[in-house]
Amino acid sequence: MKKYIFASLLLIIIFSASCTKDSVGTSSNEVGQNGSLTRFIVVNNYLYTINNNALKVFDITNPSTPVYKNTLQVGFSIQTILPYQDKLFIGSNNAMYIYSIANPELPAKLSETAYFVRGHDPIVAVDSVAYATVRNGFGGGGVLNCFNIKDISLPQNVNILRMTDPYGLGIKDSALYVCEADSGIKVFNIAKAYIPVLKNEIKFNETAYDVIVKNNILICYIKAGVALFDISNVYLPVLIATVKN
């Protein structure tokens, strides 16, 4: 396989019926939603942050007053962090790290998977797949990786799709949204989790970087600000508003 230069970032999303939580109003313990590009994430009573090489843990049991707990060295060029169940998925320019937060104050490394290690037999299982985008450093495309994470200690990269300029991603039901910068948003059908099928390309004259799925609304971080789509039909996002200037 052609050698890639990972000058950019990784993003991951897990596909599971239990991973989307609809929110109405703001209760005192409700956790907000971040885009997939985030480096700060709240999981219950803890704030996890990443910088270039380390993961930090803050106790926010009292949300107004964080208490610093730990710093763990993870790797190099860390880009993104995503919580899933009692795990943290951490993406760097060339690897995906999975940590257990069964002990939330002291995450424990479960696995580290370099990219482009091809797995063997694609297995479709809706609750055990992670999607990750990797963008090349010099404006030359990128890929969408599909990882089988049934065995969390040994993730397998079971499918790789070429992309134009991939950034952040998000999931609603069986739709996977991948931001493609100037090429807009691509919508995949992931009913067969390891075989995403391109259903739609949303080009709307904006540069799309990241998304948050919020009930029937897709909130998109664009270069000029924010765009909102109605995704009542998950494969057919309809632009309903932008916030620019």
* Number of residues in contact with other proteins under rule CB under 8 A: 49
Q: Are the C-beta atoms of residues 2 and 44 closer than 8 Å to each other?
A: no
Based on C-alpha coordinates, what's the Rg of the chain?
A: 17
Concatenate the DSSP letters of all residues of 165-223 into one string: S---EEEETTEEEEE-BTT-EEEEE-SSTTS-EEEEEE--SS-EEEEEEETTEEEEEET
**Which residue's CB is nearer to other proteins, number 39 or number 109?**
39
Considering the rule CB under 8 A, would residue 68 count as an interface residue with other proteins? Answer: yes
Q: How many CB atoms lie within 10 A of CB 225?
A: 12
Residue 94 beta carbon to other proteins: minimum distance, rounded to whole angstroms: 19
Contact map string, positions 151 to 190, toward other proteins, x by CB under 8 A: ----------------------------------------
**Which residue's CB is nearer to other proteins, number 153 or number 215?**
215
Residue 221 beta carbon to other proteins: minimum distance, rounded to whole angstroms: 5
Distance (Å, rounded) from C-alpha 32 to C-alpha 68?
20
Contact map string, positions 216 to 245, toward other proteins, x by CB under 8 A: -x-x-xxxxxx-x-x---------xx-xxx
- Which among 208, 101, 111 is positioned nearest to 154, based on CA atoms? 111
Distance (Å, rounded) from C-alpha 144 to C-alpha 134?
7
**Which residue's CB is nearer to other proteins, number 118 or number 244?**
244
Looking only at residues 190 through 219 of this chain, which bind other proteins when binding is defined by CB under 8 A? 210, 212, 214, 217, 219
- Which among 149, 143, 157 is positioned nearest to 125, based on CA atoms? 149
Residue 154 beta carbon to other proteins: minimum distance, rounded to whole angstroms: 30
Considering the rule CB under 8 A, would residue 66 count as an interface residue with other proteins? Answer: yes
Task: Give the residues lining the site for other proteins (CB under 8 A).
Answer: 23-35, 37-42, 47, 49, 51-52, 56, 58, 60, 63-66, 68, 210, 212, 214, 217, 219, 221-226, 228, 230, 240-241, 243-245
